[in-house]
Amino acid sequence: MTEAMFRNRRVVQLENERVRVSATLEGGHIAEILHNPSGVNPLWTPPWPSIEPSTHDYAKHPEYGAGNEAPLLSGILGHSICLDTFGGPSVEEAAAGMPVHGEGPVIPYEISSGGDSEITLSGTLNLAQLRFSRRIKLAAGSSVILLSETVENLSASDRPIAWTQHVTLGPPFLQSGSTQFRMPATRSKVGDASFNDNLGPYVPDAEFDWPFCPLKTGGTEDFRTYTKGPSSGGFTTHLMDPKRALAFFVAWSPSTKVAFGYVWKQNDFPWMARWEELYLRAEPPWNGKAMTCGMEFGVSPFVESRRKMVERASLFGVPAYRWVPAQSKVDVEYCAFITKAERIPETVEWDGAFAVDLEGGR
């Protein structure tokens, strides 16, 4: 483990000959999963300067906007954690200090090392009364990153929580009309008209089968290839195949021949939320300059307040949140991978350790 700076942020890093992983000390964001042979980092770095969330001040930093997302947006990078909400707080929660997507992506983390191949980031969500830790392991010679997470309920009450891996891809890996995606999704639904003030191209609240999303203009968009633009934006949720023990997504860049993705247990994270932003949002800090594709797998289908999440209860017969019993812990384990591939892999298998099998991608 080494400490370094990444885009003006303090990070800790693990590295072998194939991969370098960088995680921020504040917010715990996985800012970089660098494929060393090609120099490609598929994760999103916003087009605005990144600062430590603890330094954000509305008066001093108007460039990040005036909304309650500003503290998060000032420091967002790559793969962030949404805990214990996925979306904005209620009016009452916001007044009590609860941030967008919960405290997980803005709090400071304690760092411990397990030698040259392992780091653990741990932090306490004081408002939510939760303790969260993420262990990152990288083995010599492997292009697979093993991630283990624990959520501990410090309170004496059972808690319904959202818990989402906010993995966001960006350029130059992400290219309009070019970058390809695969995942074992089934039933899908578009977010409601409130998302992006209904400016996106997709039919609000439409239900469909992956990958063909209904368009307002008629026809469908094939989500297996990133949209062409010139501008677009939207939010859809996708139920990962309940018949499969493992869920995954894989993204592939034709220009670099790099394949990148994650694998996890479907029972842990049954939902994939796909967030697309292509030069659509005009307000600060977006300013019509951001290109992203969020591949956000978790326990909840939609970005919404905790109250709405609980009232929704389920979608397509699958729960929309997870319980953490009083003074108990819940553990999950998943992996990320990055490697060369001549074409988009159609399926991905994971051995539970440091090997993945990319069928059809060789």
For 275-315, the pLDDT digits (tens) are 999 999 999 999 999 999 999 999 999 999 999 999 999 99
Integer Cα distance of 261 and 43 in angstroms: 10
DSSP characters for 72-126?
A: HHHH--SEEEEEE-BSPPPHHHHHTTPPTT-STTTSB-EEEE-STTEEEEEEEET
pLDDT > 90? residue 361 = no
Beta carbons within 10 angstroms of residue 91's beta carbon: 9
**pLDDT class for 359, splitting at 50, 70, 90?**
confident
Strand partners, 232: 278
Please name the amino acid found at residue 123.
Answer: G
Cβ-Cβ contacts under 8 Å for 140 (sequence gap 6 or more):
16, 17, 117
Residue 243 has pLDDT above 90, yes or no: yes
The Cα 215–Cα 226 span in angstroms is 15
Question: What's the CATH code of the domain at 221?
Answer: 2.70.98.10
pLDDT > 60? residue 191: yes
DSSP 258: E
Longest CA span, the chain: 55
What does the CA dihedral 214, 220, 225, 227 come to, rounded to 10 degrees?
-80
Q: Are 148 and 265 in contact (CB under 8 A)?
A: no
Count the domains in the chain: 1
Q: pTM here? A: 0.97
Question: Are the beta carbons of 327 and 112 closer than 8 angstroms?
Answer: no
Q: Which residues contact 45 (CB under 8 A, 6 or more apart)?
A: 7, 31, 77, 78, 170
Distance CA 1, CA 14 (A): 5
Find the mean pLDDT for residues 340-359.
Answer: 95
Amino acid identity of 285?
Answer: P
Mean pLDDT over all residues of the chain? 97
Q: Could you tell me the residue range of the domain that residue 85 belongs to? A: 2-359
